[in-house]
């Protein structure tokens, strides 16, 4: 099974900051990398698919990059509504493993 | 508007059984693969099971293989998860999710239903 490792597990940032979250796959997954955002008590929401393509309606301050084994989610100019937990997931093969999550907290 | 609505969660004793349902609306249900994803209290996301649009292919995480069965009724636009031999560690909120055409990203999620396995 492909393992997905996210770092950091949590970070503190201020409104207006630029933050980056890393996701590493245990083997190459090409661009089969997905990013989700989850807020407390809510279902996850799709942010980015195919490593770098923004899902419809997602603000352009979110961006994704990478291919193979190393991927990054970047949030430019952090907004109050961006404080949440972010998960990566691969859909390269079964099982569709998720990363452990990164909690973005207010500094 | 596309929507998924889960139901069927609740309290069950270890070794017991439960069937979850996920009712879909606003899209052509039979055209999309579907998955179940769970989240234990305070923990991360775990993919559980997937099924093709026709229902002809099914897939399971090792943690539930042999105990859970995914199925769908395309005439009723409904996805199911039959859970047998439940364990305490199966306690979680269970989400159903629609797999889009683009890299199988889960582009629509239900609100989740809580399953608690406890004596």
- For A26-88, the DSSP string reads SS--TT-EEEEEE-TTS--EEEEETTTEEPTT--TTEEEEEETTEEEEEESS--GGG-SEEEE
In angstroms, the separation between the Cα of residue B14 and the nearest Cα of chain A is 25
Note the residue count of chain B: 119
Of B50, B107, B110, the CB nearest to A55: B107
pLDDT on residue A49: 97
Torsion of CA A95, B94, B117, B72, to 10 degrees: -80
Cβ(A83)–Cβ(A104) under 8 Å? yes
Reading chain B (119 residues) residue by residue, the pLDDT tens digits are: 999 999 999 999 999 999 999 999 999 999 999 999 999 999 999 999 999 999 999 999 999 999 999 999 999 999 999 999 999 999 999 999 999 988 889 999 999 999 999 99
Q: 3-state DSSP call for residue B46?
A: strand
Residue with token string 């503190």: A12
User: What does the block give as tokens for B89?
Assistant: 């560690």
Of A36, A94, A101, the CB nearest to B50: A94
Q: Do B104 and A44 touch (CB under 8 A)?
A: no
Partner B, chain A 1-30, Cβ-Cβ below 8 Å: 1
pLDDT on residue B103: 83
Q: Do A43 and B46 touch (CB under 8 A)?
A: no
CA distances from B45 to A7, A49, B38, B73 (A): 16, 17, 6, 26
Of B81, B74, B78, B67, which is closest to residue B15 (Cα–Cα)? B67
In angstroms, the separation between the Cα of residue A50 and the nearest Cα of chain B is 6
Closest Cα in chain A to B95: A43
Of A35, A28, A102, which is closest to residue A65 (Cα–Cα)? A35
Cβ(A25)–Cβ(A91) under 8 Å? no
Number of H helices, E strands in chain B: 0, 11
Of B5, B29, B24, which is closest to residue B95 (Cα–Cα)? B5
Half-sphere exposure of B65 (CA within 13 A, CB side): 8
Closest Cα in chain A to B61: A95
Per-residue pLDDT tens digits for A38-93: 999 999 999 999 999 999 999 999 999 999 999 999 999 999 999 999 999 999 99
Q: Do B61 and A53 touch (CB under 8 A)?
A: no
């Amino acid at each position: 099974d492909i393992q997905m490792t996210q770092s950091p597990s949590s970070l503190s940032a201020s409104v207006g900051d630029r933050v980056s979250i890393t996701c590493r796959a245990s083997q190459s997954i090409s661009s089969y990398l997905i990013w989700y955002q989850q807020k407390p008590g809510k279902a996850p929401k799709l942010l980015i698919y195919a490593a770098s393509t923004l899902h419809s309606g997602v603000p352009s301050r979110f961006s994704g990059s990478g291919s193979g084994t190393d991927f990054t989610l970047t949030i430019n100019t952090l907004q109050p509504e961006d404080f949440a937990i972010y998960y990566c997931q691969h859909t390269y093969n079964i099982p569709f493993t998720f990363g452990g999550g990164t909690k973005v907290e207010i500094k | 508007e596309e929507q998924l609505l889960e139901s069927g969660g609740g309290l069950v004793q270890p070794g017991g059984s439960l069937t979850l349902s996920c009712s879909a609306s606003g899209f052509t249900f039979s055209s999309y693969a579907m998955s179940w994803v769970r989240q234990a209290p305070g923990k991360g996301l775990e993919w559980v099971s997937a099924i093709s649009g026709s229902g002809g292919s099914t897939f399971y995480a090792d943690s539930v293989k042999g105990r859970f069965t995914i199925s769908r009724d395309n005439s009723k636009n409904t996805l199911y998860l039959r859970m047998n031999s439940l364990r305490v560690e199966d306690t979680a909120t269970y989400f159903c999710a629609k797999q889009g055409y683009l890299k199988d990203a889960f582009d629509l999620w239900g609100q989740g239903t809580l399953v608690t396995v406890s004596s």
